Amino acid sequence: MSTPALDVITIGRASVDLYGQQVGGRLEDMSSFTKAVGGCPANIAIGTARLGLKSGLITRVGDEAMGRFIREQMQREGVATDGIHTDPARLTALVILGVRDEKQFPLIFYRDNCADMALDEGDIDEALIASAAAIVVTGTHFSKPNTDAAQRKAIRLAKKHGRKVVFDVDYRPNLWGLAGHGAGEERYIKADHVTAHLQTILPDCDLIVGTEEELAIAGGSEDTLQTLRRIRAVSDATIVCKRGPMGCVVFPDAIPASLDDGIRGPGFPVEVYNVLGAGDAFLSGFLRGWLRNEPLETACAYANASGAFAVSRLLCSPEIPTFTELSYFLEHGSKERALRKDVAINHIHWATTRRPAAEGLMALAVDHRAQMEAMADEIGVPRERISAFKALAVKAAARIAAGRPGFGMLIDGIYGREALFRAADHPFWIGRPVELPGSRPLEFEGGPDVGTSLIEWPVGHTIKCLCFYHPSDPPALREQQERQLLRLHAAARTVGRELLIEIIAGKHGPLEDDTVSSVVQRLYDLGIKPDWWKLEPLKTAAAWRAVAEVIERNDPLCRGIVLLGLEAPEEDLEAAFAVAASEPMVKGFAVGRTIFNEPARAWLRGALSDDDAVDAMATRFARLVQAWQSASGQAAAAQ
């Protein structure tokens, strides 16, 4: 038997969840929604991938934006997408959900003739099934003849190749036609024909997982011990009974006289915020232990903790923990019953689930506003011309990047609106400034309520904030700037955008080896943990090491540092690159005026054509890219 390439493949539902963001009211009154991948199998595929398993998904999605969103999110999560088929005739399923209170979670399925319910035997590839150690089949996809046939074929192929079969009962009565569209949150309706149907599946299963209500529909009795015995009579599978806040009980062999005599793991009492998706997080955790042949008690601990995370947060798949996060929680616990309020855990969750990025970053910065306004005014041309020039800068950066990862741009939303649109055509990292140019103390460009303006930004745009901060600044000035940075950090996490903090200390005091590191430490002491730091050139390797040690000590999950240019001549930047590249925490550069200053002046005067301006910026950018790559290559060779 060949060694499987994947640990698990899940089969069945893949939808887009639209979650009401107003908690505590009727779904009728919710006015804004956040989007996430949903559907039991899709959630488990993501959950198991986050917990370190190699997972895949077999489903169908529509040939439209929602279907592409599911496919792209699966790729971002590390889920194998070979089994995701595009259905040109049907739309991707949608689910609208909300949180009324801790017991009411209104839910509407939009699944009429949807893509995933058109799954059939032709979508089940034998080689793909054989490539996984286990498959997960789910209850909803036994409710229609075509999807039933598809999952039964998958079971046959799994058994043929000696793979394990996991059955998540996943009972949704209204998806079996037993309740109306408005009863999406209904979890149990007795139905003998459903029980009879599911019992034909049980003999081929190695693991059966469900709540007490779900096991009742599988076993045909509302007495939990009786239904467990009925399942055991037809199946040798390990049975996992989910019991909500009481955790779970596992029965690998004969069913004992009491539920409490089964195998259990530790429970984690937390505040219930939203139970939707908790079962998928639970099974993801259990599979992490079970498929790695860890003790059942350990699998239960993973499962119970993963479920606790899910019920304490709003969404489904986005809230499932990563293994780094789960391990931290199991080791340290939490002082918060509402885990979503635990600052340390939330940071680990954010930093281990944010969108993947290249290891390095080489960015052309054209987010300058005040400097370019002054340039246009000096030359005597309308400021509106600045916008057209920034669009040319995108062409220059794109020419050098040539579609390669690790390139980016800093572009503002004032004069760079068109440039931002054009940059979206390329796989760039994009950073956008929020500070009022030159402000000290720091002020935000869009007004004091910075979070409101961030909601409009594309999710892939990184917030960039420049703060002129020196340790010797007057206490009142430091405190005012720190308050602003704290507000920005909170807003960035609330709206789910990455944050780059740019610190320039040298303009307002001496720059010693410990100057910038002390600023970075101070901000960490306040609880500010940006995804990126952007720092001015430091003169010595010791100064860079001091900064890196602060970052490593306070936030080892930080993406790193990029070097800013300060309009330095190219030869000065090349020398700065040589010093900075000796520190692995420095990942690249974001330089602007060194590249665009001369071409911008000439273009605004009419002395350069569009093409010549693009050529001039591309040539300068290419030289800096080469200089950085050479410096970092030499540094790596010397280590």
Lowest-confidence pick of 22-26, 108-112, 181-185, 546-550:
181-185
- Domain of 486 in residue numbering reads as 361-632
Domain boundary among 353, 376, 409: 353
Helix (H, G, I), strand (E, B) or coil at 455: coil
pLDDT-based confidence at residue 247 (cuts at 50, 70, 90): confident
511 lies in the same domain as 580: yes
Which CATH number covers residue 261? 3.40.1190.20
Task: Return the number of other C-beta atoms located less than 10 Å from residue 350's C-beta.
Answer: 17
CA-nearest of 522, 101, 527, 534 to 346 is: 527
Banded model confidence at residue 609, pLDDT cuts 50, 70, 90 = very high
What confidence tens digit (pLDDT) does each residue in 583-606 have?
999 999 999 999 999 999 999 999
Residue 185 in this model has a pLDDT that exceeds 60: no
Closest residue by Cα to residue 568 from 510, 532, 620:
620
| Single pTM value for the model | 0.93
pLDDT band per the 50, 70, 90 thresholds, residue 174: confident
Q: Please say which residue of 291, 322, 353 terminates a domain.
A: 353
- pLDDT (0 to 100) of residue 275: 75
Q: What is the mean pLDDT of residues 199-225?
A: 95
* 319 and 406 both lie in a single domain: no
Q: What is the per-residue pLDDT for 101?
A: 75
The CA dihedral of 462, 465, 471, 474, to the nearest 10 degrees, is -150
Same domain flag for 314 and 447: no
Whether 202 and 72 map to the same domain: the answer is: yes
Q: What is the pLDDT of residues 76-131, one digit of tens each?
A: 999 999 999 999 999 999 999 888 877 788 888 898 899 999 999 999 999 999 99
Is residue 34, in this structure, part of any structural domain at all?
A: yes
The percent of residues above 90 in pLDDT, for the chain, comes to 82
Residue 191 has pLDDT above 90, yes or no: no
**Three-state SS for 405?**
coil
367 shares its domain with 349: no
Report how far apart, in Å, the C-alpha atoms of 432 and of each of 120, 154, 416, 443, 482 are: 46, 48, 9, 15, 20
pLDDT at residue 108, rounded to an integer: 87
Q: Coil, strand or helix: which one is 377?
A: helix
Q: Does a structural domain hold residue 639?
A: no
CA dist., res. 326 & res. 266, Å (int): 14
275 and 378 housed in the same domain = no
Cβ(265)–Cβ(255) below 8 Å = no
* Domain count along the chain: 2
Using a pLDDT cut of 70, give the percent of the chain over it: 98
3-class SS string, 197-247 = HHHCCHHHCCEEEEEHHHHHHHHCCCCHHHHHHHHHHHCCCEEEEECHHHC
- Is residue 638 a part of any domain in this protein? no
Does one domain contain both 77 and 190?
yes
Judgement on whether residues 307 and 375 belong to the same structural domain of the protein: no
**For residue 186, pLDDT beyond 90:** no
Does residue 85 sit in the same domain as residue 219?
yes
Would residue 535 count as lying in a domain? Answer: yes
Averaged pLDDT, 61-68: 98
46 and 92 in a single domain? The answer is yes
Tell me the pLDDT of the chain averaged across its residues.
94
- The CA distance from 192 to 131, in Å, is 36
Last residue of a domain, one of 304, 326, 353: 353
CB proximity list for 418: less than 8 A, separation 6 or greater: 387, 388, 390, 391
Q: Give pLDDT, residue 99.
A: 82
Q: How far apart are CA 410 and CA 430, in angstroms?
A: 6
On whether residue 291 sits in a domain, the answer given is yes
Tell me: the pLDDT tens digits for 556-579? 999 999 999 998 999 999 999 999
User: What's the pLDDT at 278?
Assistant: 86
C-alpha distances in angstroms, 588 versus 104, 523, 629? 49, 22, 9
Same domain, 379 and 237: no
Residue 439 lies in a domain: yes
Same domain, 516 and 547: yes
Q: Given the structure tokens 């997408």, which residue do they identify?
A: 81
Q: Answer yes or no: is 317 within a domain.
A: yes
What's the CATH code of the domain at 409? 3.20.20.70
The pLDDT of residue 253: 95
**pLDDT-wise least confident of 28-32, 63-67, 504-508:** 28-32
- Identify whether 1 is part of a domain: no
Q: Which residues make beta-bridge pairs with 86? A: 61
pLDDT on residue 343: 95
